[in-house]
Amino acid sequence: MIKLLVVDDQEQNLYMLQVLLQGHGYDVALASNGAEALEKARQNPPDLIIADILMPVMDGFTLCREWKKDEHLKTIPFVFYTATYTDPKDEKFAMSLGAERFIIKPTDPEKFIDIVQEVIDQCKAGQLNTSCEPIEEEAVFLKQYNETLIHKLEDKITQLEETNQLLEREVRERKQFEEEKKKLEAQLIQAQKMEAIGTLAGGIAHDFNNILSAVIGYTEIALDDAEKGSLLERNLRGVLQAGKRAKNLIKQILTFSRQAELELKPVQVKMVAEEALKFLRASLPTTIDIYRDLASDSLIMGDPTQIHQLLMNLCANAGHAMKENGGILEVILADVELDSNFIAQHPGMIAGPHLKLIVSDTGPGMTTEILKRIFDPYYTTKDKGEGTGLGLSVVHGIIKNNAGAITVYSEPGKGSTFNVFFPVIEEEIRAEAAVEELLPTGNEKILFVDDEPTLVEITNQMLKRLGYDVVTKTASNEALDLFQAQPEKYDLVITDMTMPGMMGEELAGKLMQIRPDIPVILCTGFSQRITEKKAKHLGIKAFLMKPLVMRSLAVTIRKVLDEK
Q: What is the pLDDT of residue 514?
A: 96
CA–CA distance from 42 to each of 45, 60, 72, 94, 97 (Å)? 6, 17, 8, 22, 19
Q: What is the pLDDT of residue 169?
A: 80
Identify the helix (H) or strand (E) that includes residue 95.
helix 88-96
Q: Is the pLDDT of residue 494 over 80?
A: yes
Q: What is the pLDDT of residue 79?
A: 95
The residue-averaged pLDDT of 380-401 equals 61
Q: How far apart are the first and last CA of the chain?
A: 64
Q: What is the pLDDT of residue 295?
A: 92
Q: Is the pLDDT of residue 191 over 50?
A: yes
CA dist., res. 390 & res. 372, Å (int): 15
More confident residue, 256 or 28: 28
Q: What is the pLDDT of residue 431?
A: 44
Q: What is the pLDDT of residue 435?
A: 43
More confident residue, 119 or 91: 119
CA–CA distance from 245 to each of 315, 492, 543 (Å)? 20, 31, 21
Q: Tens of pLDDT along 509-548? A: 999 999 999 999 999 876 556 667 778 888 899 988 888 8
The residue-averaged pLDDT of 77-99 equals 83
Q: What is the pLDDT of residue 144?
A: 58
CA dist., res. 433 & res. 119, Å (int): 50
128 touches 73 (CB < 8 A):
no
The residue-averaged pLDDT of 305-313 equals 85
Q: What is the pLDDT of residue 9?
A: 92
Mean pLDDT, the chain, rounded, equals 83
More confident residue, 432 or 200: 200
Q: What is the pLDDT of residue 112?
A: 93
Q: Is the pLDDT of residue 132 over 50?
A: no
More confident residue, 206 or 257: 206
270 touches 310 (CB < 8 A):
no
Q: Tens of pLDDT along 258-276? A: 445 556 789 999 999 998 8
Q: What is the pLDDT of residue 93?
A: 87
Q: Is the pLDDT of residue 27 over 70?
A: yes
More confident residue, 287 or 343: 287
Q: Tens of pLDDT along 219-232? A: 989 988 889 889 99
Q: Is the pLDDT of residue 456 over 90?
A: yes
CA dist., res. 550 & res. 561, Å (int): 16
On the question of a common fold for 3-132 and 445-563, the answer reads yes
Q: What is the pLDDT of residue 140?
A: 58
Closest C-alpha among 43, 45, 33 to residue 76: 45
The residue-averaged pLDDT of 476-496 equals 95
User: Topology of domain 445-563, per CATH?
Assistant: Rossmann fold (3.40.50)
Q: What is the pLDDT of residue 3?
A: 95
Q: Is the pLDDT of residue 148 over 80?
A: no
Q: Tens of pLDDT along 233-247? A: 899 988 888 887 777
| pTM, full prediction | 0.43
Closest C-alpha among 490, 491, 453 to residue 473: 453
* Helix residue spans in 226-323 (DSSP H): 231-256, 269-283, 304-321
Q: Is the pLDDT of residue 137 over 80?
A: no
Q: What is the pLDDT of residue 377?
A: 55
Q: Is the pLDDT of residue 483 over 60?
A: yes
Closest C-alpha among 2, 1, 16, 3 to residue 81: 16
Burial (0-12, 13-18, 19+ Cβ within 10 Å), 79: buried
Q: What is the pLDDT of residue 167?
A: 75
> Residue 21 — pLDDT band, cuts 50, 70, 90?
very high
Of 3.90.25.10, 3.40.50.2300, 3.90.1300.10, 2.60.40.1180, which CATH number belongs to 3-132?
Answer: 3.40.50.2300
Q: If one looks up domain 168-256 in CATH, what number appears?
A: 1.10.287
Q: What is the pLDDT of residue 320?
A: 87
Domain boundaries along the sequence of the chain: 3-132, 168-256, 265-425, 445-563
Identify the CATH class of 265-425: alpha beta
The type of residue at 150 is I
The residue-averaged pLDDT of 487-497 equals 95
Q: Tens of pLDDT along 66-87? A: 999 999 999 999 999 987 555 6
Q: Is the pLDDT of residue 385 over 50?
A: no
Q: Is the pLDDT of residue 205 over 60?
A: yes
Which range (93-102, 243-252, 337-346) has the least confidence?
243-252
